[in-house]
Amino acid sequence: MHRTDVESSNVKSVGFDRTSGLLEVEYRNGKIYHYPATSADEYAALMAAESKGRYLQRHFVQSERAYARVEEEESES
């Protein structure tokens, strides 16, 4: 999924698949999370938020929405 870099102290980039409703967030610590069942309006609100990290915390993390951490693929030696 293509992600767009954002200005944020916590969030590095954000991607959204309108067809599946999957939001993908890459945090500055290198971790990537998927938030399924995200609406286009929620994505737009996140991208318009003054603080992306605060928006995600309030509307996704604290609301106990489903999410999954994307495990980084191990490189083959």
Cα angle: 51, vertex 52, 58; to 5 degrees: 90
> Tell me: the pLDDT tens digits for 1-15?
899 999 999 999 999
- Domain ranges in the chain are 4-70
Model-level pTM? 0.88
**Secondary structure of the chain: what % helix, strand, coil (to 5)?**
25, 30, 45
CA dist 65 and 75 (Å) reads 31
> Tell me: the pLDDT tens digits for 35-56?
999 999 999 999 999 999 999 9
